[in-house]
Amino acid sequence: MFLTAALFLLSSCNDGKSYADLLKEEDRAVKAFLANKIVINEIPADSVFITLQDVPDNDTLAVPYYKLDSDGNVYMQVLEAGDLNDCFEKGDDVNLRFLRYDLKALVNGENPTPMGNANSPIDYVTIRFGETTLSSTTQYGTGIQYPMYFLGNECHVNLLIRAKAGFTSETSTVMPYLYNIRYFKTK
């Protein structure tokens, strides 16, 4: 009886969709979002990314999304490269200011309410760059750290992050997000 109740609750939580179905939905949302964007499937050899300042009229549609991992879990659009003379080093504590949007809702033409801390002047999320064991860092997933490998302090990016590289508490929901993030070294 307990098993039957548990199965009912589990199936009602995801509207009867299997994990495979959720992965297909995520894949469709990612492909739909990137369909009208410039996508570069590799990191530039010199690690010099095209930024918003490099394109005419600050047109974000002219700024490419770079595929940052071989599985296509993270794509980055560089709005500001930050101070390349002040790059992040493993072990740095870094404050993040971000808003994230439900990518499935965006591609369905909805106007999802953003979640995050970017609208608060004092609310920062602090992570330790390169950390793989501290839950205060790992809870945000691996994808959020990718820009720090390539960009400088005070960089600003849009990141498309699939669930596999997103918040660890949300991996099973298979929800991709579009993040708008600023990175600041703590003093």
| 84-129: pLDDT as tens digits | 999 999 999 999 999 999 999 999 999 999 999 988 777 889 999 9
Tokens 């495979």 appear where?
Answer: 20
Could you tell me which residues come within 8 angstroms of residue 143 by beta carbon, excluding any fewer than 6 positions away? 73, 74, 159, 161, 162, 165, 166
**pLDDT of 47 above 50:** yes
Average pLDDT over residues 141-152: 96
pLDDT of residue 15: 66
Tokens 């691996």 appear where?
Answer: 142
pLDDT of residue 120: 78
pLDDT of residue 30: 97
Rounded CA separation 72/22 (Å) = 16
Rounded CA separation 10/4 (Å) = 10
Q: What is the CATH number of domain 17-185?
A: 3.10.50.40
- Percent of the chain clearing pLDDT 70 (strictly above): 92
Average pLDDT over residues 32-51: 95
